[in-house]
C-alpha cells in the first residue's frame, strides 16, 4: 500500500501512472487493479459483480421499456378515448342536426297543409257565396217574372172590364149594327117597308138579330148589346120611335 505523503517518490510515480491511465483512452481497469494490488483470486467476484451489474442494467432497460410501453399505451388509450369522445360528439351533432331538419320539414309540411286547408276553405266559401248569389238572383228573377205575369193578368182584366162589352158586341153580334141601320132606313122610308104599320116609324125589334129570336140573352149580354147599340146608333132604340 502506497501512502501519499509518506513515500513521496512512490506517490509521484503512482500519480503519474494514474494520470496516464486516465488520459490514455483505453480500459484502465486492469492497470488500476494492478496498481492497487487487486485481482487474482478476486476475479470471480468481479465477474459476478459484473454479471449482476449487467442484469441490473438489463432490468433497468426492461423497466424503462415497460414504462415507455405503458406510457405509449396510456397515450394511445387517451388518444382512443379522445377519438371516441369526438366521434360521440360528432354523432350527437349529426343526430341533433337530423332532428332539427326533421322538425323543420314537419313544420313546413304542417304549414303547407294549413295553407291548403285555408285555400280549400276559401274556395268552399266562395262557392257557397256564389251559389247563394245565384239562388238570390234566381229567386229575384222568379219574383220579377211572377210580378210581371200578375201585372199582365191585371192589365188583361182591366182591359176586359173596359172594352169587353164592345169586343163582345163586335165579335158575337157585330151584324146587329148593320141590321139596326137597315131597320132604321126602313123606318125612314115607310112606303118601301112592307112591315110598317100606319106609316109609323116603329121598329120591330123581333126582326133584329135574325135567328137569335128564340134565344133569350143573358143580362150581361143584353147590357153589353144595349150599350153597343147606343154607341153605334147614337141613341136608345130598344123602344119604338114616337
Instruction: Read off the C-alpha cell for 52.
Output: 449482476
Class of residue 221 by CB neighbours under 10 A (exposed 0-12, middle 13-18, buried 19+) = middle
* 95-134 residues labelled b (16+ CB within 10 A) or e (exposed): eeeeeeeeeeeeeeeeeeeeeeeeeeeeeeeeeeeeeeee
Question: Which one is predicted more confidently, 173 or 154?
Answer: 154
3-state helix/strand/coil string of 151-218? HHHHHHHHHHHHHHHHHHHHHHHHHHHHHHHHHHHHHHCHHHCCCCCCCCCCCCCCCCCHHHHHCCCC
**Is pLDDT above 80 for 141?**
yes
State how far the Cα of 14 lies from the Cα of 29, in Å rounded to an integer. Answer: 15
What's the average model confidence in pLDDT over 68-78?
92
Using 50, 70 and 90 to split pLDDT, how confident is the model at 127? very high
State how far the Cα of 176 lies from the Cα of 181, in Å rounded to an integer. Answer: 8
Question: Which one is predicted more confidently, 42 or 86?
Answer: 86
Q: Is residue 240 within 8 Å of 203, Cβ to Cβ? A: yes
pLDDT at 9: 58
Task: Please give the model's pTM, rounded to 2 decimal places.
Answer: 0.31
State how far the Cα of 70 lies from the Cα of 137, in Å rounded to an integer. Answer: 98
The tens digit of pLDDT for each residue in 204-242 reads 444 444 444 444 444 444 444 454 444 444 444 444 444
Amino acid at each position: 500500500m502506497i501512502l501519499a505523503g509518506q513515500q513521496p517518490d512512490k506517490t509521484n510515480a503512482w500519480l503519474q501512472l494514474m494520470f496516464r491511465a486516465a488520459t490514455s483512452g483505453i480500459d484502465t481497469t486492469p492497470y488500476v487493479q494492478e496498481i492497487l494490488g487487486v485481482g487474482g483470486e478476486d476475479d470471480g467476484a468481479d465477474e459476478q459483480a459484473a454479471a449482476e451489474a449487467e442484469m441490473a442494467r438489463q432490468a433497468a432497460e426492461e423497466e424503462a421499456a415497460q414504462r415507455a410501453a405503458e406510457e405509449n399505451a396510456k397515450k394511445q388509450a387517451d388518444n382512443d378515448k379522445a377519438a371516441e369522445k369526438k366521434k360521440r360528439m360528432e354523432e350527437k351533432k349529426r343526430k341533433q342536426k337530423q332532428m332539427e331538419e326533421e322538425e323543420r320539414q314537419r313544420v313546413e309540411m304542417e304549414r303547407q297543409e294549413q295553407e291548403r286547408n285555408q285555400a280549400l276553405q276559401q274556395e268552399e266559401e266562395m262557392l257557397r257565396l256564389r251559389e247563394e248569389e245565384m239562388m238570390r238572383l234566381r229567386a229575384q228573377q222568379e219574383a220579377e217574372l211572377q210580378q210581371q205575369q200578375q201585372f199582365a193578368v191585371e192589365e188583361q182584366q182591366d182591359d176586359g172590364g173596359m172594352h169587353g162589352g164592345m169586343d163582345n158586341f163586335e165579335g158575337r153580334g157585330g151584324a146587329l149594327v148593320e141590321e139596326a141601320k137597315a131597320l132604321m132606313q126602313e123606318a125612314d122610308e115607310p112606303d118601301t117597308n112592307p112591315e110598317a104599320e100606319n106609316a109609323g116609324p116603329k121598329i120591330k125589334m123581333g126582326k133584329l138579330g135574325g135567328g137569335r129570336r128564340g134565344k133569350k140573352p143573358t143580362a150581361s149580354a143584353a147590357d153589353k148589346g144595349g150599350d153597343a147599340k147606343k154607341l153605334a146608333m147614337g141613341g136608345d132604340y130598344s123602344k119604338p120611335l114616337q
